[in-house]
Amino acid sequence: MDIAFVLYPNMTALDLVGPYDVLSPGPDVTAHLVAATPDPVLAGSAMRLVPTTTFDELDHADVIVVPGGEPYDVLADGAVAAWLRKVHPTATWTTSVCTGSTLLASAGVLEGKRATTHWALRDLLASLGAEVSTDRVVRDGSVLTAAGVSAGIDMALTLAGILWGDTVAQGIQLAIEYDPEPPYDSGSVEKAAPEVVDFVRGVIASGFSADKDEAATA
């Protein structure tokens, strides 16, 4: 089973690493880190991830995992969307984490489908043709989408159960000791205090504004 984990600049590392650690040890899995070029991809401010193949070289995958991040430049560039349009029709499962769903939508994968994303980008996802859900993990046909960042682990465990059965999926959950007990109860926009929501919304908006400014001057 070939699983393609998509890399692109300014992606969020945990969006990829969480599902990677859940899915890559699965039975008969060959994991591919696929990007536009063979050059290392910067995730965040310092982490560099090295692709194992490129969009030109990999034209099929049984499972596709698209992480989120700051997707404005990637949406404008269109390289990820172009590759998804090529490989999605023959994939068994196409998945995303966080804002990765906006990249699926830009490729036409989510047209008329229910999907989720990071809470701050729901309007953007809706504008791209998806039927936006607030659920943490959404399955619509062969497409699985996860809400923000940490929800990628939930999505990957859901997919592991579909692929290999509940015992294997529960075993993976135990192996990675995924039994969260967070010190705060502010992990969703519905639970967080208004001032916390405003703070995070401002940080995200300023990041996307910077992306747009850079794209406009490129």
Which pTM value belongs to this model? 0.92
Residue 24 lies in a domain: yes
- Higher pLDDT: 218 or 119? It is 119
Residue 187 lies in a domain: no
Residue appearing with tokens 């809706």: 126
71 touches 103 (CB < 8 A): yes
How far, CA to CA in Å, does 93 sit from each of 41, 80, 188, 212?
24, 16, 27, 31
Which residue range is the domain that position 105 belongs to? 2-181
Residue 66 lies in a domain: yes
- CATH number, domain at 33? 3.40.50.880
Residue 211 lies in a domain: no
> What gap in Å lies between CA 152 and CA 65, rounded to an integer?
10
Residue 201 lies in a domain: no
pLDDT in tens, 200-209: 999 888 776 5
Mean pLDDT computed over every residue of the chain: 93
- b/e per residue, 24-45, with b = 16+ CB within 10 A? eebeeeebbbbbbeeeebbbee
Residue 119 lies in a domain: yes
Q: What is the pLDDT of residue 218?
A: 37
Counting the structural domains of the chain, the total is 1
Residue 212 lies in a domain: no
> What gap in Å lies between CA 45 and CA 64, rounded to an integer?
25
Strands (E), the chain: 2-6, 30-35, 41-43, 47-49, 53-54, 63-66, 93-97, 114-115, 131-132, 137-140, 143-146
User: 166: which strand partners?
Assistant: none
214 has a pLDDT exceeding 70: no
Q: What is the pLDDT of residue 215?
A: 40
Catalytic residue ranges: 98
- b/e per residue, 61-79, with b = 16+ CB within 10 A? bebbbbbbbbbbbbbebee
| Enclosing H/E stretch for 204 | helix 194-217
Q: What is the pLDDT of residue 217?
A: 35
3 touches 61 (CB < 8 A): yes
Residue 32 lies in a domain: yes
pLDDT in tens, 63-108: 999 999 987 778 888 999 999 999 999 999 999 999 999 999 999 9
| The CA-based dihedral angle spanning residues 143, 32, 57, 139, taken in that order and rounded to the nearest 10 degrees | 0
- Higher pLDDT: 70 or 3? It is 3
CB-based contacts of 77, cutoff 8 Å, min separation 6: none
